[in-house]
Amino acid sequence: MDEYKKINEASAQIKAILNDNGCDQHVDTFIALGSGLGPFADTFEQSLKISNKDLPHFPTTTVQGHAGEIVISKINDKVCMFQKGRLHAYEGHSYNDVIRPLRIARNLGAKTLILTNAAGGINPSYSPGDLVLIKDHINLSGRNPLVGKNIDELGPRFPDLSEVYSYKLMNDTKKIAQDNKILVKEGVYIHVSGPSYETPAEIRMFAKLGADMVGMSTVPEAIAGKHCDMNILGISCITNYAAGIVNQKLTHEDVQDVAKKTMEKFSNLLNLILTKL
C-alpha cells in the first residue's frame, strides 16, 4: 500500500477516536519518549491512551522499556501526542514504520517535534544522569529514512539539514533550564544502527569525528521531521559511559536503571518545556 495512504488511514482512525472521546482532533506537539522515559506521559490528567494495536499500520515495539501506545494530553491549551514505544530499525522495522508515527502527528497538525533518548556518553565531561541538548548529529548508520519515492505532500526530495535541531528551541530550553536550576549540556549525537553496543575502537573513532554521545535512535525521526518542516528539539539522557571510557560492561538493564533514576529531573525539564514554550 502507498505510504501516504497508510499515514492518512492511521490519522483518520486517531481523529475518530479523539472525536468519540470529545477531544480536539488537532495535535500541536509530538514527543518521542526514549528508554525508561515512557512513564512521563502518564503524569498528566485528562489523557487519552491509544494502543498501537488499535491503529492501522502502527507496528508494536519489541524492546523492553518501550510500551506500545500513544498518549494524547492537553497541556496549556496545546495538544501533545506522546509516543510510548519508539520503533527501531534494528527490531526489523522498515524506516517507514519507524518514522510513520511522527508523520501521522504532522498530518494531524503538529509543528513541533521533541525527540528524547538514552545515549552513551563519549565526551569525557559527561556522566551518567546528565541531560544533553542535541545541537547536531552524525548519521553513521549507512541508511537514510527518505530513500525511495519521495512523498511530495510531506516535503521536498532534497531537504536542507543545515539546521536540523532548532536553535530557537534549544536556546529557549537552555534559558528555562537555567531559570529552574536544571543543568543541561549540549553536544553532537552520532547514530549507529545497533543492536550491539559499540566497540572501544569505534568509540575512539566517533570521538575523533566530533561526536559527544552515541545511540541507536532519534536521527531517522529528526531527518523525517525536518523533511516535513517540523521544529525539532532533541534531548539525550546520558545513561552510561560509552565502551572503553571506563572499564565496565554495558547492559540494557543498566541503561533503563539510570534512565529511571534521572526520570524526575528529565520530567521536570520536559514539563517546563511543554508548559512554557
First to last CA, the chain: 38
* Reported confidence tier of residue 87, pLDDT bands at 50, 70, 90: confident
What count of other Cβ atoms lies within 10 Å of the Cβ of residue 129?
16
Structural domain of residue 89, as residue ranges? 3-276
| Positive/negative CA dihedral, 109, 159, 55, 274 | negative
Q: Which of 16-30, 62-76, 108-122 has the lowest mean pLDDT?
A: 62-76
- pLDDT at 11 exceeding the cut of 90: yes
- pLDDT at 265 exceeding the cut of 60: yes
- pLDDT at 66 exceeding the cut of 60: no
Question: Of 98, 88, 103, whose CA–CA distance to 14 is shortest?
Answer: 103
CA pair distance 81, 242, nearest whole angstrom: 31
CA pair distance 90, 196, nearest whole angstrom: 9
Q: Which of 68-72, 95-99, 105-109, 226-230 has the lowest mean pLDDT?
A: 68-72
What count of other Cβ atoms lies within 10 Å of the Cβ of residue 258?
18
Mean pLDDT, residues 27-43: 86
pLDDT at 67: 62
Catalytic residues: 35, 66, 88, 90-91, 118, 216-217, 240, 252
* Reported confidence tier of residue 160, pLDDT bands at 50, 70, 90: very high
- pLDDT at 65 exceeding the cut of 60: no
Mean pLDDT, residues 199-215: 97
pLDDT at 253: 78
Q: Where is 238: in which H helix or E strand?
A: strand 231-241
CA pair distance 269, 179, nearest whole angstrom: 11
> Above pLDDT 90, what percent of the chain?
70
- pLDDT at 208 exceeding the cut of 80: yes
Look up the pTM and report it: 0.94
Total number of domains constituting the chain: 1
Does residue 72 contact residue 18 with C-beta atoms inside 8 Å?
yes
pLDDT at 63: 61
Angle at CA 136, nearest 5°, toward 149 and 221? 35
pLDDT at 83: 94
Does residue 238 contact residue 213 with C-beta atoms inside 8 Å?
yes
pLDDT at 197: 92
pLDDT digits (tens, 9 = 90+) for 100-119: 999 999 999 999 999 999 99
What does the mean pLDDT of the chain come to?
91
Mean pLDDT, residues 215-233: 97
pLDDT digits (tens, 9 = 90+) for 130-139: 999 999 999 9
* Reported confidence tier of residue 273, pLDDT bands at 50, 70, 90: very high
Mean pLDDT, residues 57-79: 79
Question: Of 64, 65, 119, whose CA–CA distance to 239 is shortest?
Answer: 119
Helices (H), the chain: 3-20, 95-107, 167-179, 200-209, 219-227, 252-261, 263-276
Strand duo 131-139 + 231-241: pairing: antiparallel
Angle at CA 186, nearest 5°, toward 235 and 173? 60
Q: Is the peptide bond before 195 cis (omega within 30 degrees of 0)?
A: yes
User: Which residue bears the cell 488499535?
Assistant: 54
CATH number at 241 reads: 3.40.50.1580
